[in-house]
Amino acid sequence: MKLLLTASVILVAWLAVRNRWRDGPDERTQQARESGQGTEGTMPLMPRGAVKLAAYGLVILMLVGTALYLLQDWQHAREIVQLQVVNVYSGAVEHYEARRSEISRRSFVTLDGRRIQIAEMERLIQLERP
């Protein structure tokens, strides 16, 4: 949902800038250029090509950053972690392996597809790999 919202904002901004540039410079800027007496308020601060290049560069940078963030999040969710289920009363420890995205508060799915429910008297310990 966040990606869709970001993409729609970028699209609307791009369309607005594109339509504005298609209309061309306003009459005051055009007259100032023709007369050669442009003041700082009427002359553009940067050439049109530089602004366009900067805008495209910013959009590309944002898209690459978003893609890297999503890739990193996906890789983090796919990591395999060691789990220990400890019975508080008996001290019995059972070892499991699961993907990080398959762990919820009171249950998890092991790598071999078993769903493990944790009782109230058991504790789940998640061991991080170095």
Q: Which residues, at least 6 apart from 92, have a Cβ–Cβ distance to it below 8 Å?
A: 86
pTM for this prediction: 0.57
Task: Give me the pLDDT at residue 130, please.
Answer: 64
The partner residues of 72 in beta bridges, in order of sequence, read none
Residue 96 contacts residue 117 (beta carbons within 8 Å): no
Give the pair of three-digit tokens for residue 69. 């963030």
Task: Give me the pLDDT at residue 41, please.
Answer: 52
In this structure, the number of other CB atoms found within 10 A of the CB of residue 27 comes to 8
pLDDT at 78 over 80: yes
Task: Give me the pLDDT at residue 24, please.
Answer: 58
In this predicted model, what pLDDT tens digit does every residue of 85-126 receive, in sequence order? Answer: 999 999 999 999 999 999 998 999 999 999 999 999 999 999
